[in-house]
Homo-oligomer: A and B are copies of this chain.
Amino acid sequence: MTRAWNFSAGPAALPEAVLRRAQQELLEWNGSGASVMELSHRGKRFMALAADAEARLRRLLDVPDGYTVLFLQGGATQHFAQIPMNLAGPEDHADYIVTGHWGEKAVREAAPYLDARVAATSVDTDYLRLPPRDAWVLSPGAAYVHYTPNETIHGVAFRDIPDVGDVPLVADMSSNILSEPIDVSRFGLIYAGAQKNIGPSGLVVMIMRDDLLARAGRPMANIFRYAEHAANDSMLNTPNTWGWYLAGLTFEWLEGQGGLAAMGQTNARKAGTLYGAIDGSGGFYRSPVDVPARSRMNVPFTLHDPALDAAFLAESEDAGFLALKGHKAVGGMRASLYNAVPLDAVNELVKFMRDFATRHG
């Protein structure tokens, strides 16, 4: 068995220790006589697993009292729609800060449910910069302000949480949740598809201030109501039990790594190493993103000569690096450096990049 250095943007690398544990327990989990996938979500054993995972997540993120944690399905995309359905009536409006592909999509999926206003966008910079805070045009009476702290495709990220006054701040943290400590109390709602920093795809984790659960929304099926999911401990329908289980193992692994403060330091070091190699390559490699807006999770970069792209991809794959091809919207290369990507992987990548530059320089 050979595991590659996996820089996939998502579904992405999982901690190897988590995979080994899951492998060991796959046919018989926790003395239950069955795989964790083969057990009722309403049984004692799975209920304990579910509560334990939630408790670990709360500890990791230091979630204050007055917030509900949900384990849902549908990916972030479904919640682009479900959030306005729940947090606003059809006559309401909300402000969206658009800094890349996912912010655009959030607006598009919200539009059937309320007046989704683009309060700021950096589309005019091809999403290579962040729109300056003083240029945002927030609307009085907005139901919430939505933003994407880290844009996976464009590789731009907010280092600081924007101040939007008393309006609930809603954040799609799919690609940066758990990558460093955050102040949850600054947010009304945080949500994240699991497949980058939490676990396998098909699971969404949501952290929601309780007063937002009480918003009336509009007539809709119960299955779309966050308040119903909350009242049923995320078991309004059968949850993704395997995803929940792996999320719990990942949270446990993160605690073992020293929690989010330690992860934040490691992630800063990983990103610093890669950006350093790009910036120090004498122009062979380039990061197109404005320096203060550079993501620590997703690092797009280009080669000075696009004719070398195919060779870079082929040689990197032969050398044991996975998924370095950039998203088609941006081109070039992209290395995603989520929690489960070790510093060693980045050091090896940087070594390969230097070597490639020497051979093709």
Contacts and interface: CB of A to CB of B under 8 A. Distances in A.
A219 interface: yes
A214 interface: no
A77 B223 contact: yes
B238 A75 contact: yes
Contacts of A99: none
Contacts of A219: 112
Which 3 A-B residue pairings sit nearest by Cβ, starting from the closest?
A: A202-B240, A4-B33, A81-B221
Interface string A1-28: 1111010111111101001101100111
Contacts of A168: none
A173 to B, nearest CB: 15
20 contacts: A1-B27, A1-B28, A3-B27, A4-B33, A11-B241, A13-B38, A19-B26, A23-B26, A33-B320, A37-B246, A41-B201, A74-B223, A77-B236, A77-B237, A81-B220, A81-B221, A112-B219, A112-B220, A193-B238, A202-B202
Nearest to A239: B201
Given A8-B39, A78-B223, A221-B80, A13 B34 contact: yes
A204 to B, nearest CB: 9
Interface of A: 1-4, 6, 8-14, 16, 19-20, 22-23, 26-28, 32-35, 37-41, 43, 73-78, 80-81, 108-110, 112-113, 193, 195, 200-203, 219-224, 236-243, 246, 320, 322-323
Contact of A39 (B11, B26, B74): B11
A33 B108 CA distance: 36
Contact of A12 (B28, B38, B110, B201): B38
This protein's copies in its complex: 2
B6 A34 contact: yes
B23 A11 contact: no
Nearest to A236: B77
Nearest to A24: B23
Given A8-B39, A40-B323, A74-B237, 20 more contacts: A3-B28, A3-B34, A4-B33, A6-B34, A8-B38, A9-B40, A10-B238, A11-B37, A11-B238, A13-B38, A16-B27, A22-B26, A37-B246, A73-B78, A78-B224, A78-B237, A81-B221, A112-B219, A202-B202, A242-B242
A89 to B, nearest CB: 15
A159 B257 CA distance: 55
A38 B81 contact: no
A33 B1 CA distance: 8
Contact of A14 (B20, B38, B74): B38
A323 B45 CA distance: 12
Contacts of A34: 3-4, 6, 8, 13, 322
Nearest to A113: B221
A27 B23 contact: yes
B11 A222 contact: no
Nearest to A196: B238
A23 to B, nearest CB: 4
B81 A223 contact: yes
A37 B81 contact: no
Contact of A237 (B23, B75, B200): B75
Nearest to A31: B2
Contacts of A40: 8-11, 323
B241 A202 contact: yes
Nearest to A37: B200
Contacts of A239: 201-202
